[in-house]
Amino acid sequence: MSSPSVPSNEIPIPQASATSTAGGEGSATGAIDLVRHGRLPLQLLLAINQVRGLFDGHSFWAQGRSRRALVRMLLGSCSVVSAWEGGRLVGIGRATSDGVFRAVLWDVVVAEEHQGRGLGRRIVQALLASPPVAGSERVYLMTTNSSGFYERLGFSGEHGQQLLVLYRQRNQETSG
């Protein structure tokens, strides 16, 4: 099955790092293509139901997000990387950044059947190499149960800092 077409504002990652083949770290069912999206991620906007399905089926923190909220989320991200097996979305990650001092990785999700094969690593590396993130002095992320994965990619815990959260009531726009 061929990979999805890439609109002109979306940049496929160079072939050397874009495709995994069967065996090794690749998918047993076929090649995986990574796509680094521009500021207007048309391919993902057109596949918003697949984005929602990936989050609902393969993450606990991103379940139940509305299509409208997901569109706003994608449009508000400065870098988005997606992974495709043919026309099926099997992984995604995104980042926000000021391009100078701080960047944050968000919502790195890989379909369970593709976990443990290096796909998450490739998504994170592609996000780290994207211009807004690569130019940042520090890159942050939050994780509940994957700290070992991120530590192997060079992240470390910051024991001198605390995570503070302001919880707001969810509204119709973000859920359902």
In the three-class reduction of DSSP (H, G, I as helix; E, B as strand; rest coil), residue 91 is classed as strand
Residues 6+ apart with CB under 8 A from 166: none
Residues 6+ apart with CB under 8 A from 30: 1, 22, 85, 86
| DSSP single-letter state for residue 75 | H
167 classed as catalytic: no
Which of 147, 150, 166, 169 is labelled catalytic?
Answer: 150
* Torsion angle defined by CA atoms of residues 22, 46, 43 and 174, in that order, rounded to the nearest 10 degrees: -100
> Annotated active-site positions, please?
150
